[in-house]
Chains A and B, each alone.
Chain A
Amino acid sequence: MDFINHQLFIKDINVHIDPILPKKTAIITHGHADHARFGHDHVIATRQTIDIMKIRYGDKCAKKFTPLRYGQKYSIKNYDFTLHPAGHILGSAQVLIEKNNHRLVITGDYKVGKDETCKNFKLVKCDTLITEATFGLPIFQHPDPKDEIQKLIRSVKINKNNCHIVGAYALGKAQRVMNLLRQQKYNETIYIHGSLEKLCQYYSKEKINIGKFEKVSSKDKNFYEGKIIIAPPSALKDRWSRRFPNPIICMASGWMTVKQRAKQQGIELPLVISDHSDWNELLDTIKKSKAKNILITHGQEDALVYYCKKQNLVSKPLSIQGRSDEEIE
């Protein structure tokens, strides 16, 4: 595995995985801004990830695009690349690199749990596993998202004169929340912040059931009483949210596990809905991958490194520049 360095760079063939700065060849695991950037010469990713990059950064955000189906092989010299479902968001992928019988998997962001908005995670056996560790502490044990979404539905029923503003990342989480609401038979129109519109339209086009949605407009204030509004977390504290009647501020995120964290952010109704693996899923994936060599990237890596060493697995943290804990999901 010496062929890849701590920046996820394969010098031999000049290929980067999820680079922060513009590069010659970039394999992109998924469309979140801390992984997919503007300005590479050549982007290799799933078709959906490429579509999402184009929606966010424009059609010319890279000079050349190579879409890969899950499982489709792409070779450069004696390196074989395949992408496998990561279950994180629509289009998200793990990268399997095979060279001289050595199998190395970069998970990217992933979750093991079921999700109707994307293809579900597939376990890939390997010799070296580079795993994320966003929720790499044993306190993170995500509850069933259905129960969490029921909390929202119940609160909407009880507090008829309030509107509920749900903070959710514009790509992935917002649509997952909408889909979960639909699964629980919430059939009202869902109102969305303007920045979510194009991505929601794209999810609809990809036949993901997010139901009927409408962009928030300057309607009579009372119109939004009893409604659910979805907005990116940054808009919750913004002037934008002040236009609504008695808003109850909600947030859909794995970080909401910790009450003190919710309180700090002024969240009144925390919804523990995560697109990352929790502690047990991380351990399970490490075990089932059969990898003997575990590298751990961004997140709470200390505890996971400690755990792996205890299991006699070679393990060390991999600090990737430009990503610090707690800013991502």
Chain B
Amino acid sequence: MKKFSSLLHNLILTPSRNTKIKLLQDYFKILDINRSYALAILSDQLSFQFIKASKLRELVYEQVDQHLFDYSYDYVGDLAETISLIWPTKKEGESQNLSTLIENIKKIKKSEINTEFSKVLSELSNNERWTLIKICTGGLRIGVSERLVKTALADLYNKSVNEIEEIWHGLEFPYENLFQWLKNETSKPKIDFKKLFHPMMLANPIDEEKDFKRLNANEFQAEYKWDGIRVQLMVSSKSVALYSRTGDNISSAFPEIIETTKGDAVIDGELLVGGNFKPSSFNDLQQRLNRKKASKDLQKKFPVFIRAYDILFYKGKDLRKLSLVDRRKYLEKFQKENKTNQIDLSSIINFSTWKELTKYKNNFHDDLNEGVMIKLKNSEYLPGRKKGYWYKWKKNPKLVDAILMYAQRGHGKRSSYYSDFTFGVWKESELVPIGKAYSGYTDKELLVLDKFIRNNTINKFGPVREVKKEIILEVAFDDVFPSTRHKSGVAMRFPRIHRIRWDKPVNEVLTISEFKKEFKLS
């Protein structure tokens, strides 16, 4: 455990990608079972059923005064780190190795969690405790992506990282077949077709100034960019499976897709909510996300469909080396052969100049698309975010000026800075909050805002500071919906701080009814 926890400690503090790779490789050189556990943890595939953030809070409240913990958590901004530091027992020296520790924790019965897991926590050093809690809460946030782990392994054994990526989702703990293949002791692991997730091709944001001068419009085709979730649909005579962009199997949440899809193919597309292939808002889609199952009622109220835009395999044939135009022919063929109410095709926009495309980007179907995708016609299907093939061109965001009302310290890399901002507009002589944002500002603007907040606090509510109503923020957001959950009656989608409006006096900010009118909510 000591070795693995110092690996994580070093990874979080090292800014250099090469050093991170080297640290990972040094660790993976160990040949025992611990490396399998490490791989499972680094790729976020290990968790304990009974031990989640809420349980950990419960345990720490048994050890220390709740208020003192809350003050500390507010300061540190990271649950794992706060608990590891505040835990009353300190132990240095030898501890169990990673694999033994994890197996022992798995054996703990639910009824004995409180005493037994507290005992485990007490027997670790601060850093080991931090590591274990990170494992429990999942998502290490140590600046190491799954891709980086794969890259480290690939480089260590002279393999290509894409080869690892392809079989990745079909591998299972303890990954013996992977390690054997990496060392050239066996051939590449054979993976069940259903589990063979194919890494997706991703788009880069377009740089309007540079790219449009450089790129020839005739070599590209465009499609609308739909505001849903990216999915990969795998269908064969035997089975159907639906994967999220990160390769998670989400089949059980969308039974209507699984039950109706026919044929033999791997399809890439966008999952949207709406009947008769008419997408409704992302707000509606959210009703179907993050659920393990969908009731009949929910399926009826928020029906889903897939807007397909690419095909990777057709009847067992790998199409990824073909051009986009050729793949499209196969996609159309697939759709014609297997018509359902759950799959339609993303239509292609004809344009001959970039200028012409602008009007499609900004004015279509009001708010139901986010802009356009621009794809190189003769591009292969390449995993990852390669430059020069696929671009996304988002609509200009909506903007509103609002007054900074409250601030809270951020988490993760922004912990200690007041970096979460709540802003509002007028309602008669009072302000009513319309949203909260924690991104978009520059580092410099963050420092200015942080300083303003510290010097202009008029009230504290726990970790939240109310500030003097003097700063106007220009907030950019993708969309706004009516909401019954918020006092203002509105909910913004992806609000972020665009800039600070030093030039504008607070009394020129809109009222809530003006705001609703401007964005067509009333």
Contact = CB atoms under 8 A, between A and B. Distances in A.
A300 B86 CA distance: 15
Interface in A225-262: 257-262
Interface stretch (B8-16, B357-365, B371-379, B431-439): B8-16
Contact of B68 (A257, A260, A261, A303): A303
Interface string B69-81: 1011001111001
B53 interface: no
Contacts of A58: none
B68 A141 contact: no
Nearest to A257: B85
Contacts of A138: 64, 68-69, 72, 86
A320 to B, nearest CB: 14
A268 B14 contact: yes
Contact of B13 (A140, A267, A307): A267
A139 B13 contact: no
Given A260-B78, A260-B81, A261-B416, A137 B72 contact: yes
Given A139-B82, A306-B67, A324-B454, A259 B13 contact: yes
Contacts of B77: 260
A268 B20 CA distance: 12
Given A259-B130, A263-B13, A326 B416 contact: yes
Given A138-B68, A261-B415, A263-B13, A300 B75 contact: yes
Contacts of A260: 76-78, 81, 412-413, 415-416
A71 interface: no
B193 to A, nearest CB: 42
B71 A303 contact: yes
Contact of A258 (B64, B67, B76): B76
A266 B69 CA distance: 27
A19 interface: no
Contacts, number: 68
B90 interface: yes
Interface in B368-417: 412-416
Interface in A300-329: 300, 302-303, 306-307, 310, 324, 326
Contacts of B69: 138
Q: Which of A138, A257, A259, A307 has the most CB of B within 10 A?
A: A259
A259 B142 CA distance: 11
Nearest to B412: A260
A263 B75 contact: no
Contacts of B65: 310
Given A141-B90, A300-B71, A263 B413 contact: yes
B13 A270 contact: yes
Interface residues of A, number: 26
A205 to B, nearest CB: 37
Contacts of B454: 324
A273 B76 CA distance: 18
A261 B13 CA distance: 10
B101 to A, nearest CB: 21
A217 interface: no
A264 interface: yes
A262 B77 CA distance: 13
A264 B409 CA distance: 14
B361 to A, nearest CB: 37
Q: Which of A139, A266, A302, A303 has the most CB of B within 10 A?
A: A139
A264 B413 contact: yes
A266 B15 contact: yes
Contacts of B130: 259
Interface string B1-32: 00000000100111100000000000000000
B467 to A, nearest CB: 15
B85 A263 contact: no
Nearest to A260: B415
B144 to A, nearest CB: 13
A48 to B, nearest CB: 33
Nearest to B76: A258
Nearest to B90: A141
Contacts of B67: 303, 306
Contacts of B68: 137-138, 303, 306-307
Contacts of A257: 85
B132 to A, nearest CB: 15
Contact of A264 (B9, B82, B90, B416): B416
A310 B415 CA distance: 28
A268 B13 CA distance: 5
B87 to A, nearest CB: 10
B78 A139 contact: no
B68 to A, nearest CB: 5
Contacts of A264: 413-416
A289 to B, nearest CB: 21
B79 to A, nearest CB: 11
B121 to A, nearest CB: 15
A244 to B, nearest CB: 16
Interface in B7-65: 9, 12-15, 64-65
Contacts of B414: 264
Interface string B126-145: 00001000000000000000
A95 B68 CA distance: 29
Interface in B82-141: 82, 85-86, 90, 130
7 contacts: A139-B76, A139-B86, A259-B13, A259-B78, A268-B13, A268-B14, A300-B71
The 7 closest A-B pairs by CB, nearest first: A139-B85, A303-B71, A139-B72, A260-B415, A137-B72, A139-B86, A268-B13
